[in-house]
Amino acid sequence: MGFFSGVPVSIKGTGMYVPDKVLTNDDLSRMVETNDEWIRERTGICRRHIAAEGELTSDVAFRAARDALLNSGTDPLDLDMIIVATNSPDTLFPGVGPKVQGLLGAEKAGAFDVQSGCTSGVYALSLAAGGIASGIWKKVLVIGAEVLSPLIDWTDRNTCILFGDGAGAVVLGVSGEGEGRFISADLRSDGTKHDQITLSGGLVEHPASTETLENKLHFVSMKGNDVFRFVNRIIPPFLRQFCLDSGMEPEEINWWFFHQANQRIIERAAERLGISPEKVVINIDEYGNTSAASVFIALHEFFGAGGVQKGDRLLFTAFGAGMTYGGIIYEA
């Protein structure tokens, strides 16, 4: 855990994009043995957005990025770096970041991807804020983008009900007078649990073969009960200590942006932390689990609704494959 020192860093603007196609719980009930009530009770999800055929992660990332640049009044030529958080890149290489940099015409910017499970968004946000605070960059575009639908086994009701496609983006820059600032961040991992969420086919460990196809190793696999237990055991005490180490009690955080993985997990964590439900931002009902994009999508919608006031403290937190987890605090 550490505090951001040096140059203060603020959020300049946000953006998002989700595909037009909507897949409801009733639609899923015609694909696998499930129903709307079963999905809602266990996850809180009502619908999710699914990319059109041929719509890539770089496409959804570009649209969210363009929205964030417009919202912040930023010219692509003013960007120093583009960081894309994703677990579903178009290809292993090139990364999504360089493709988006080219699409935007951000000729002076570097670009790279961060892949660290669903925590990738929080990791990327911390990297961007740290880079500006240190003086390396002045303006950074951070994007969380996922097109997970081609990587889902649509015959597996344990995973296919969870995920949706979409992207969110945020522009960070040097704080001006009266603007907000990032306060602290804590990024963690427990690699002993690396087998709880996996997509193992097609690379070094399991090169693509007839066998990997037959065993469905090219789809997301999750040990749901193990993940649920890990999150409920680790995340609440981690967040409490993160707040205390940052010089505040959990109840002093005005708005909580949890990774939108499961509404039951979010509500249980909030209850254990003694957080009022009114302080927790939830939009999983509309989008499902958009992985690295979920925190950014929630932030954009909340900012757009005018939910943040000057001096409010926001905490962004996520967990994901690895198992990784982390948090970052921002004062508006």
Of residues 98, 220, 223, the one with CA closest to residue 149: 220
- Is residue 46 part of the annotated active site? The answer reads no
Integer Cα distance of 68 and 72 in angstroms: 6
Q: Which of 160, 262, 289, 300 is catalytic?
A: 289
Integer Cα distance of 282 and 31 in angstroms: 27
- Is residue 300 part of the annotated active site? The answer reads no
Contact 253, 315 (CB under 8 A): yes
Between 294-304 and 57-72, two packed helices, what is the crossing angle to 10 degrees? 30
Question: Residues 247, 252, 256, CA angle at the centre, nearest 5°?
Answer: 110
Exposed, middle or buried by CB within 10 Å (0-12, 13-18, 19+), for 331?
A: middle
Q: Which of 25, 71, 87, 118 is catalytic?
A: 118
- Structure tokens belonging to residue 17: 């994009």
Q: Which of 71, 243, 259, 300 is catalytic?
A: 259
Laid out side by side, the sheet with 139-146 consists of 9-17, 166-174, 139-146, 81-85, 110-114
- Is residue 254 part of the annotated active site? The answer reads no
Q: Which amino acids are annotated catalytic?
A: 118, 259, 289
